[in-house]
Amino acid sequence: AAPAPAPAAAAVAAPKVSAPAVADKIAERFRTSNRGDRWRRPPRKWLNQLILATEERAEADRLVEAFSAYVDAQVPIRRWQQVGLIAALCRTRSWDALLDVLQRRRRLQLFLEQPKPLAAAVRALADDGAWEQLAALSRLLPSVLEPF
């Protein structure tokens, strides 16, 4: 008889989370919950899942919408989620959305105290040859990095 497989080998991989499905779930929960009812708002982990699952430009637009909805509902946004938003926009090459998010950073509660996520965005823009957006980002950098 063959030996039993190791537990790691026997484990079934979790199904990949679909960004559109998570975005729909978030939107539906915000639609059906009362604004002041913090127990009915979508959990923050759904935003985390959406950040990690976003792989295409259309999904990036839905991510920005969801991020805005969480901020509007006064759900505390963690630093990881702020950096994750910028990383997802870079990963999907959603340069216009990235610039829009950075221009609305105060309303979206993006407190970027460290330049590392922005340095990654600058590198990604340069690697992609998005020179106009890179110039726009360079004009934004002094105000983005200033303390609130």
Q: Which of 91, 94, 31, 108 is nearest to 61 (CA)?
A: 94
Average pLDDT over residues 22-36: 86
Q: For position 121, what pLDDT does the model report? A: 92
As a whole number, mean pLDDT of residues 15-29 equals 89
Average pLDDT over residues 25-51: 85
Size of the chain in residues: 148
Is the pLDDT at 69 greater than 50? The verdict is yes
Q: What is the pLDDT of residue 9?
A: 45
What pLDDT, on a 0 to 100 scale, did the predictor assign at position 13? Answer: 44
Cα dihedral 30, 57, 78, 43 sign: positive
pLDDT of residue 4: 53
Mean pLDDT of 73-84: 91
pTM of the model: 0.82
CB 96 within 8 Å of CB 133: yes
